[in-house]
Amino acid sequence: MTKTTPLSTETPEALDQLLAQLAFGSALHFESGFCDNWNLLSDKSDKAALHIVTQGSLWMAIPGRLSEQIQLRAGDAIFFSHGLRHWLSDQPVTAQSTPVKLQNFCVPEHIERGLVCYDIAIQSPLTANVLQIMPDYIHLPADRQSSRLAPLVALIQEETILRQPGYQAAISRLSDVVVLHLLRQVLTDEHISQGLLAALQDTALRRVVLAVMDKPEANWTVDNMAELAYLSKSAFAERCNKIMGMTAKSLLDQLRLQKSCYLLIHTEQSLDRIAEQVGYQSATAFIRFFKQQHGTSPGDFRLIHS
């Protein structure tokens, strides 16, 4: 007899447990006002990052992906889950843009544009696994923020404008709370929480996602993933399609792809070693898988994000 457990996609208690286990470790990286004609190219980092625009507007772009750059406005928050290098600029970024050193444009008293940046240390395997299945960045415009997150962002904006004694300590102390509310919205907002993120809202699928992310090199099959979810093979396949809009096999492929991308960006391991860690017996098989899933070779992907 197949083991089945009646499960609802509405699992606020489960999400509470997940959020409670995430180790944020956030800290204020810098806070500044800006003059015109500036740009900043961040270094690649092993930390996640959160930026909040306190005044004015600016542009964000990722090297090699300039066509998808976005304009951020006052009150917007943008969360980088993978520590990717990225541009911040007062003008749209072009292939000819060159970074300007911080001291050349950083004017804390300037009020035309303002930015607060937090670093978020990855302090536990669970945190790393959850962040790895998130998009490279998540943009939350001011008018899309939850009723709990928006006032926190507004408070940070107010502190940076008024600059009363202790304001930097105040915005620093707010960091973990802001990150908590941002991740809560990411995990519950149906417009954001799609695909792999949507799986974290579901008790059965979350068990599978976190287990595969923990050991992507294991001999995973649809059968043993379904068993881990306490569902029959057909019920598991149906649940994957309903919750994430993908097949059970695609779920496994996407999780291995996300792990591959993380290792290519944040380590200098050989393709053979990465292939071994995500369940492929050779670099050749891994390269074929990566190109099929991502549309580019692992080497080119690593070069873009180096």
What is the pLDDT of the chain when averaged over all its residues?
Answer: 86
In terms of domains, do 42 and 118 share one? yes
Residues in Cβ contact with 130 at an 8 Å cutoff, skipping those fewer than 6 apart = 18, 22, 200, 210
Residue 203: both structure tokens together: 């008790």
pLDDT value at residue 11: 44
The residue from 188, 212, 245 where one domain ends is: 188
Coil/strand/helix, residue 9: coil
In terms of domains, do 56 and 177 share one? yes
For residue 111, how many C-alpha atoms fall within 13 Å in the half-sphere facing its CB?
Answer: 7
In terms of domains, do 86 and 19 share one? yes
Could you tell me if 131 and 163 are in contact, meaning their C-beta atoms sit under 8 angstroms apart? Answer: no
Model pLDDT for residues 228-238, shown as the tens digit of each residue: 999 999 999 99
Could you tell me if 282 and 270 are in contact, meaning their C-beta atoms sit under 8 angstroms apart? Answer: no
Q: What is the DSSP letter of 43?
A: P
pLDDT value at residue 12: 52
Coil/strand/helix, residue 259: helix
Percent of the chain residues past pLDDT 70, beyond the cut: 90
pTM, entire model: 0.83
At how many degrees (to 10) do helices 203-214 and 248-266 cross? 40
Q: How many domains does the chain have?
A: 2
CA geometry: angle 87, 91, 92, nearest 5 deg: 65
pLDDT value at residue 254: 93
CATH of the domain at 117: 2.60.120.10
Q: How confident is the model at residue 86 (pLDDT cuts 50, 70, 90)?
A: very high
The residue from 188, 219, 239 where one domain ends is: 188
Q: Average pLDDT in the 114-124 region? A: 87
Residue 20: closest CA among 199, 176, 243: 176
Residue 6 counted as domain residue? no
Residue 196: closest CA among 238, 146, 145, 248: 248
Determine the Cα–Cα distance for residues 161 and 158; give it in Å rounded to an integer: 5
The residue from 126, 160, 188 where one domain ends is: 188
Torsion angles phi and psi, residue 55, rounded to 5: -150, 155
Residue 242 counted as domain residue? yes
The residue range of the domain holding 296 is 196-304
In terms of domains, do 26 and 171 share one? yes
| Between 110 and 155, residue with greater pLDDT | 155
pLDDT(171) > 90? yes
CATH of the domain at 241: 1.10.10.60
The count of other CB atoms within 10 Å of the CB of residue 218 is: 11
Q: Average pLDDT in the 155-167 region? A: 91
Residues in Cβ contact with 286 at an 8 Å cutoff, skipping those fewer than 6 apart = 260, 271, 274, 275, 278, 280, 298
In terms of domains, do 208 and 63 share one? no
Q: Average pLDDT in the 10-21 region? A: 65
